[in-house]
């Protein structure tokens, strides 16, 4: 792993010798202590491979598998948390019951060391066919801009599609709604999942799919930063 790609650990992980709020070389898992590959992994790897040697890339990964976007609405998350199954509540509790607050806490620490250049979003399966999803995402995005003193014109939101219809994705219909996000958030960019391979459940990507999707996030980010990624096989 290239040490220019760093992750700020968002929870305490004694089993892998990581402490909340500190930077580490971005060896997986990047999300909590046991989660496997995520889009953030190859997002960062692809960025450092294409950016000047002096540039470092840091990510903060705060995520809960299977959650609705409502979990990150800082004013209404508690009513949603009250409805979730026990296994999800256990993951939420790793962020002291409030993943949004933990994200802001870690992001403020990160701002002491660098500049927040963008926000990655990969969510939607649990909100499939929710026509209010884009508005709900806007609430979260606007809150982040305010709470972190960021300017929307300078901080793009990169939103990835769910498993595509070409892989038999069972939530693929959500991609039509995700595609409309730039109509609500001007600086939003949709990352295609077309051709990204998935696992047998047709809900999650497999490792190859996550690697490709992460690279596509990076390609979009590189373009926004004014760089053109090198061709790789």
Beta strand 23-25 with 57-59 is unpaired
Q: Residue 44 domain-assigned?
A: no
pTM for the whole structure: 0.96
Structural contact between residues 34 and 16, judged by C-beta atoms closer than 8 angstroms: no
Structural contact between residues 33 and 19, judged by C-beta atoms closer than 8 angstroms: no
Distance (Å, rounded) from C-alpha 9 to C-alpha 61? 8
Boundaries of domain holding 193: 61-225
In degrees rounded to 5, what are phi and psi of residue 5? -100, 115
pLDDT at 231: 60
The half-sphere exposure of 151 on its side-chain side, counting CA atoms within 13 A, is 3
List the helix and strand counts (H, then E) for the chain. Answer: 8, 6
Q: Residue 65 domain-assigned?
A: yes
CATH code for the domain in which residue 204 is found: 3.40.50.1110
Q: Residue 102 domain-assigned?
A: yes
Closest CA to 211 of 200, 232, 228, 196: 196
Structural contact between residues 185 and 159, judged by C-beta atoms closer than 8 angstroms: no
Give pLDDT tens digits along the chain (233 positions): 999 999 999 999 999 999 999 999 999 999 999 999 999 999 999 999 999 999 999 999 999 999 999 999 999 999 999 999 999 999 999 999 999 999 999 999 999 999 999 999 999 999 999 999 999 999 999 999 999 999 999 999 999 999 999 999 999 999 999 999 999 999 999 999 999 999 999 999 999 999 999 999 999 999 999 998 776 53
Closest CA to 106 of 139, 141, 58, 73: 58
pLDDT at 233: 38
Q: Residue 43 domain-assigned?
A: no
Q: Residue 5 domain-assigned?
A: no
Distance (Å, rounded) from C-alpha 192 to C-alpha 2? 26
pLDDT at 232: 52
Domains contained in the chain, number: 1
Beta bridge partners of 173: none
Q: Residue 216 domain-assigned?
A: yes
Report which secondary-structure segment, H or E, holds 157: strand 157-160
In degrees rounded to 5, what are phi and psi of residue 152? -55, -35
Structural contact between residues 128 and 171, judged by C-beta atoms closer than 8 angstroms: yes
- Quick check: helix, strand or coil at residue 13? strand
Q: Residue 104 domain-assigned?
A: yes
Q: Residue 136 domain-assigned?
A: yes
Under DSSP, the state recorded for 69 is: G
Q: How many CB atoms lie within 10 A of CB 61?
A: 21
pLDDT at 70: 98
Structural contact between residues 203 and 125, judged by C-beta atoms closer than 8 angstroms: yes
Give the gyration radius of the chain's Cα atoms.
Answer: 17
pLDDT at 230: 74
133 token code pair:
């999803």
């Amino acid at each position: 792993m290239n040490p220019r790609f760093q992750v700020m650990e968002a929870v305490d992980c004694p089993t892998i010798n990581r402490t909340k709020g500190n930077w580490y070389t971005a060896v997986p898992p990047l999300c909590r202590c046991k989660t496997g590959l995520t889009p953030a992994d190859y997002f960062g790897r692809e960025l450092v491979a294409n950016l000047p040697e002096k540039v470092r890339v840091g990510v903060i990964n705060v995520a809960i598998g299977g959650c609705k976007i409502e979990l990150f609405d800082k004013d209404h998350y508690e009513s949603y948390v009250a409805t979730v199954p026990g296994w999800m509540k256990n993951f939420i509790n790793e962020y002291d019951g409030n993943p949004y607050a933990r994200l802001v806490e870690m992001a403020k620490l990160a701002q002491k060391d660098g500049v927040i250049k963008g926000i990655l979003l990969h969510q939607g399966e649990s909100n499939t066919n929710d026509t209010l999803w884009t508005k709900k995402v806007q609430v979260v995005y606007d809150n982040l801009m305010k709470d972190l003193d960021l300017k929307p014109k300078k901080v793009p939101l990169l939103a990835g599609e769910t498993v595509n219809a070409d892989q038999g994705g069972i939530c693929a219909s959500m991609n039509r709604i995700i595609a409309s996000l730039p109509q609500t958030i001007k600086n939003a960019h949709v990352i295609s999942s077309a051709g990204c391979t998935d696992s047998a459940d047709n809900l999650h990507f497999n490792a190859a799919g996550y690697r490709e999707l992460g690279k596509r996030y990076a390609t979009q980010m590189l373009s926004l930063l004014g760089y053109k990624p090198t061709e790789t096989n």
